[in-house]
């Protein structure tokens, strides 16, 4: 058995004296497949939407309470405040675990921490994360210029990139031979394949100005991809968001 750190909002669990027990009891995802029986046919009709269920990952900490906490009650309140925000809507956010080495969960706290003191300064703490079924590459959520050279997806899964364009007027973005058209851009535009949104900001939607082939957002396939943009722009960048399934 060894220990690790959970990092969230740029703060480590070790600030609270909490170390994650490792190895984890690794939760796994399931393929979202439904079966429909057909009379007179051997087997069933398989409905497979090529997606996966969320997972519930339990995390156990060994905690040595820092001396600046007078008791477990005040420690527990601060630990809970770090992990959850009671007056904001729940959303998926990055949770980093150092043993994953370059990958992270996108998750939220589904079960709040439970503190079980073992002595005056030692406790066991358990909590659960509801995680998307894919781990995300740490470096691939940072914006980078879109290369004129082929871009290679190093994983075996299609990625759902986030594109960012700064410019005005009409644009055509070509991804792997498919043209995505965006009309009347006013200063800035985001094309978010994961959220299936086109927007200037999250309160200024521009989806009605987009023409998408087959009404589908761009994906980056495993291996070689080509991306280009035509129009009057000063910046064209993206987050590739490489991912791997939690299996």
> Which three-class secondary structure state does DSSP give residue 99?
helix
Rg (CA), the chain: 22
For 219, list phi and psi in degrees, rounded to 5: -130, 155
Q: According to CATH, where is 2.60.120.860 located in the chain? A: 138-245
For the chain, give the percent of residues with pLDDT over 90.
83
Minimum mean pLDDT range among 28-37, 93-102, 153-162, 237-246: 28-37
Instruction: Specify the CATH number of the domain 2-132.
Output: 2.40.30.200
What number of other Cβ atoms are within 10 A of residue 79's Cβ?
24
Asked if 43 and 35 count as a contact pair (C-beta separation under 8 A), the reply is no
> Which three-class secondary structure state does DSSP give residue 189?
strand
Look up the pTM and report it. 0.88
pLDDT band of residue 243 (cuts 50, 70, 90) is very high
pLDDT band of residue 83 (cuts 50, 70, 90) is very high
Dig out the tokens for 181 from the structure: 């058209």
Burial class (CB in 10 A: 0-12, 13-18, 19+), 150: exposed
> Does CATH place domain 138-245 in 2.60.120.860?
yes
Asked if 127 and 111 count as a contact pair (C-beta separation under 8 A), the reply is yes
Q: According to CATH, where is 2.40.30.200 located in the chain? A: 2-132
């Amino acid at each position: 058995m060894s220990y690790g750190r959970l990092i969230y909002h740029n703060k480590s669990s070790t600030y609270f004296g909490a170390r994650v027990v490792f190895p984890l009891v690794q939760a796994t995802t399931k393929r979202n497949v439904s079966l429909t029986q057909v009379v007179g046919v051997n087997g069933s009709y398989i409905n497979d939407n090529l997606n996966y269920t969320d997972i519930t990952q339990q995390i156990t900490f060994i905690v040595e309470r820092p001396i600046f906490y007078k008791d477990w009650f005040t420690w527990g309140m601060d630990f809970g405040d770090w992990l959850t925000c009671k007056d904001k809507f729940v959303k998926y956010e990055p949770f980093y675990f150092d043993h994953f080495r370059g990958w992270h969960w996108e998750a939220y706290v589904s079960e709040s921490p439970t503190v079980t003191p073992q002595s005056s300064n030692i406790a066991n703490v358990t909590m659960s994360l509801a995680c998307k079924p894919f781990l995300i590459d740490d470096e691939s959520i940072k914006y980078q210029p879109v290369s004129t050279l082929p871009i290679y997806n190093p994983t075996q899964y299609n990625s759902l990139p986030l594109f960012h364009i700064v410019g005005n007027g009409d644009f055509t973005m070509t991804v792997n031979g498919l043209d995505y058209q965006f009309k009347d851009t006013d200063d800035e535009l985001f094309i978010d394949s994961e959220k299936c949104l086109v927007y200037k900001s999250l309160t200024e939607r521009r989806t009605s100005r987009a023409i998408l082939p087959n009404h589908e957002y761009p994906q980056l396939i495993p291996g070689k991809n080509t991306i280009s943009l035509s129009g009057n722009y000063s910046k064209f960048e993206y987050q590739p968001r490489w991912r791997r399934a939690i299996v």
